[in-house]
Structures are given as C-alpha cells and as structure tokens.
Amino acid sequence: MTTPSKRFEIFAGTYVRIVTRLKATSQNRAVGILSIDGFLLDEDEHCYFLGSTPDEITDSVLKSDTVRMYLPIEEMMELIGSSHQGSEEMN
C-alpha cells in the first residue's frame, strides 16, 4: 500500500477542479490546458481518480500532468445558494 499524496490527503472526497496539461500524443508536448471538475475519490502512483458523484469514478488525470488542484468556490457558492433558495420555497 502506498502512502497518500499530500494533495490527496487534503482534498480526498471533496469536489475539486484539476487543471491539467493537454498533450499532443505524437510529440508528447504540452499544447494547452484543460480543467476537470469532480469529487476526488482515489489515487494510485500515476493518476488521480474523479467522480461526477461521490460514489462512482468517471475520470482520471495523470499526476505528472496536473498543474493545479483547488476548490471551485464559485460553483460551491451557486450550489449553496440554490439549495438555500429551495429550502425557502418549501416553507
């Protein structure tokens, strides 16, 4: 069993955004960046595994291509606002 990475220890189970390098396969060089959102569910020595829900892995990102991982605050605020608004409508 491998020791969890620092990023995984911090963000495990949390909804995150990962910014990753997009590579051209024939030259293996960076050609742009891509951001992927999801729940950080697992990792191995090469990849982070994300899910669109906390229960199912739907994507993987190479650790070596990861530029940044962070909490997408704006989306979280929208979710909080919409759930708060929904509870007000129920009353």
- CB-based contacts of 67, cutoff 8 Å, min separation 6: 19, 20, 21, 33
The pTM assigned to this predicted structure is 0.75
Query: Within a domain: residue 1?
Result: no
Phi, psi (5° rounding) for residue 48? -100, 145
Instruction: Give residue 13's domain range.
Output: 6-90
Q: Count of domains in the chain?
A: 1
Query: Is the residue at 85 inside a domain?
Result: yes
Interval 15-24: pLDDT, tens = 999 999 887 7
Task: Give kind and range of the element (H or E) at residue 31.
Answer: strand 29-43
pLDDT, tens only, 23-72:
776 766 768 889 999 999 999 999 999 999 999 999 999 999 999 999 99
